[in-house]
Amino acid sequence: MVARQLRERGIRSERVLGAMETVPRHLFVPSERVPEAYSDEALPVGEGQTISQPYVVAASAEALALEGHERVLEVGAGTGYQAAVLSLLAREVIAVETIPSLAESARERLTRLGYSNVRVEQGDGSEGLAGEAPFDAILVSAAAPAVPQPLIDQLAEGGRLVIPVGLTDRQQLLRIVKEGNRTTEQKLFPCRFVPLVGRFGWR
């Protein structure tokens, strides 16, 4: 997976490649999907949600440019896989999941596997977590119709937000950097995520 899907397709960060090599993806998919765990595709995980394609997980993490000291917010925890990857790249990860059953199972799984610097909260991730802000980096693992203003507001100075934005069936992955009272936006690549449901997402 790391050699063919990530390194050959342009993932350069050795820290990200190392994290992707370390996290056992097969432990984050339903038992019937274990044979496909390392395939080059998103997989269904129940409740209408998916675990993202490995390349998208790695590219999103790389775009955050984490050095190890950051506090990171992940919106859309799913099974906890992306949070586990981020936990090896940052000081602290808080993941928010809107679906209670997924939040509970992700929390249990991450604890059992020893990812002690990850916390999973259940709630509307499109609102961020104002009480925990600011964040050095925010990664949104679901597609928004527009960039939620609360996530911009909760970024620290120099903070990075990576988020898929567009229609429900196709989006662009964006990288937004906050500097002073301004943000700069970079389009990374076309993608397809499940919808971000919430006050600042899809209703």
**What is the number of other CB atoms lying within 10 angstroms of the CB of residue 53?**
17
Q: Give the separation between CA 67 and CA 56, rounded to whole angstroms.
A: 19
Active-site positions read 52
- Give the number of residues written for the chain: 203
Residues contacting residue 131 through CB under 8 Å, at least 6 positions apart = none
Contact present, 152 and 159 (Cβ < 8 Å): no
CA 136 to chain centroid, in Å, comes to 14
- Beta strands in 12-145, from DSSP E residues, in sequence order: 43-46, 49-51, 71-75, 92-97, 118-122, 135-140
Q: Are strands 118-122 and 135-140 parallel, antiparallel or unpaired?
A: unpaired
Task: Record the tokens describing residue 138, joined without a space.
Answer: 């925010």
Q: What residues does 164 pair with on adjacent strands?
A: 173
